[in-house]
Copies of this chain bind each other. A is one copy, B any other.
Amino acid sequence: MLRLGPLAATAARCLPAGPRPGPPCLAGSRGPLSRQVRAAADGERLPVLKTPKGTRDHPPAQAALRERLLSAVVSCFKRHGAAAIDTPVLELRETLVGKYGEGTKLIYELQDQGGELLALRYDLTVPFARYLAMNKITNMKRYHVAKVYRRDNPAMTRGRYREFYQCDFDIAGQFDPMIPDAECLKIVHEILSDLQLGDFVIKVNHRQILNGVFAICGVPESKFIPACSTVDKLDKVPWEEVRSEMVGEKGLSPEAADRIGEYVQLHGGLELIERLLQDPKLSQNKLAKEGLGDMKLLFEYLTLFGITGKISFDLSLARGLDYYTGVIFEAVLLQQENQHVEEPVSVGSVAGGGRYDGLVGMFDPKGRKVPCVGVSIGVERIFSILEQRLEASGEKLRTTETQVLVATPQKHLLAARLKLISELWGAGIKAEMLYKKDPKLLKQLQYCEETGIPLAAIVGEQELADGVVKLRVIATREEVDIPREKLIDEIRRRLEP
């Protein structure tokens, strides 16, 4: 959390300190607080000053950057016609159990305080499925931006937290194959391009192809999931390690592992799909054949979208979660701007998703399925990249939108400031004043420079006598007297982009 220090300090400078002698309202501030309160106030039991492990505060500078990032993501979701929904942070425990495989042990559970047994949501996908089944909704295109919770080992510098935002876009409904799936990949492409995060690749695979591979390599169906999670490690560790884990921990035969190795190390484009469709063994497997058919159609649509250049059909992609049933994908950044390496290195996944046709059915009393496909944008990782970039650039983000500071050059003019500022507020102009009876003009102008306020509206005795307001442009120090009745229009004119 140390990195937040300087930003917090910026926030601290947001308002200039007032006069030292406390205002009268402070005198009695030790008033009759409750017993514990007074105990604590007397320092008998001071709470540890920290946020829970794996969580953090967002000071204004970070909150402003995050707002930019989230609004960029949301505007893409809206461009694709998604509606927003919101679901509770709390879910019944039983709603979450058995949906996340190994992830289940990372779910935050609430204490039994009487009543229902609750947990904090682990992602936004299972609550979405619960929502669809609960309301008998058979088709919907929605986005959801909200925090989720995982008792994970945080790696906060790399943007991994226990409380973090997810930005999900999902399409539920029975439609013609691969059209919604293609749109999800288009969305990832649009967002990563818009954010200018540098070069990226979107790996695509299909659970049925993987299962087909396992099947023809002699893996019993009961071991498909474990084999999957082992294959998934190929982006981090070399094949030899993956192989030994398959044979060792997962108990596959060496021959099976070797045969799997021949397939899962393949990656390419349409030509690879065609090749595998001709593969004597794979083409005989129903699951694989269907999966490859989907992939071929998907690539056709992605070609029409003009984004195949960044798509890689990668048989090593498996994705951790249990509920995927079809197309799966994951976007990785190839290198960060500030790095200058010959070999583009992966800085990890910034988006992922896939098709989960069985999940809603798990919540439906009659097991009625609602096919779904969706994407989740890894905004925390992206945020930490943007944050590093901002720090490197030295650019200072404005944390407020104030347009005008109402200032006075002499003493005893608080009333004039209060009258003027409420006129500005009434006209919808974003205005501030210092909370002092008689602030120095210099301090007021410094505050504008520190916080980036472009204009100062100055009322002194002379201006009041003349019925004008002195409008000062902070950047140029230009000053001009504006008749009071024309002030609002003049400010609006000068604020026009």
Q: Mark A201-220, 1 if CB is under 8 A from B, else 0.
A: 00000011001000000000
Chain B residues contacting A22 (CB-CB under 8 Å) are: 174, 369, 371
B49 touches A133 (CB 8 A): yes
- The oligomer's copy count stands at 2
B326 touches A29 (CB 8 A): yes
Q: How far is the CA of A163 from the CA of B470 in the complex (A)?
A: 48
B83 touches A11 (CB 8 A): yes
A432 sits at the interface (CB 8 A)? yes
Which residues of chain A in 100-155 are interfacial with respect to chain B, using CB atoms and an 8 Å cutoff?
101, 108-113, 115-116, 118, 120, 130-131, 133-142, 147, 149, 151
Tell me the minimal C-beta distance from A328 to chain B in angstroms. 12
Which residues of chain A in 148-173 are interfacial with respect to chain B, using CB atoms and an 8 Å cutoff?
149, 151, 163, 171, 173
Chain B residues contacting A293 (CB-CB under 8 Å) are: 24
A294 sits at the interface (CB 8 A)? yes
Q: Mark A76-101, 1 if CB is under 8 A from B, else 0.
A: 00111111111111111011011101
B180 touches A435 (CB 8 A): yes
Chain B residues contacting A78 (CB-CB under 8 Å) are: 400-401, 430
Chain B residues contacting A180 (CB-CB under 8 Å) are: 435
Q: Which of B8, B136, B363 contacts A46 (CB 8 A)?
A: B363
Tell me the minimal C-beta distance from A74 to chain B in angstroms. 10
A238 sits at the interface (CB 8 A)? no
**What are 29 A-B pairs with beta-carbon distances under 8 A?**
A11-B135, A15-B140, A16-B139, A23-B176, A23-B178, A25-B290, A26-B371, A29-B325, A29-B358, A30-B358, A32-B222, A33-B323, A34-B98, A37-B98, A46-B363, A47-B94, A47-B97, A49-B130, A51-B88, A51-B91, A52-B116, A60-B142, A78-B430, A79-B425, A81-B402, A82-B400, A90-B149, A108-B113, A109-B111
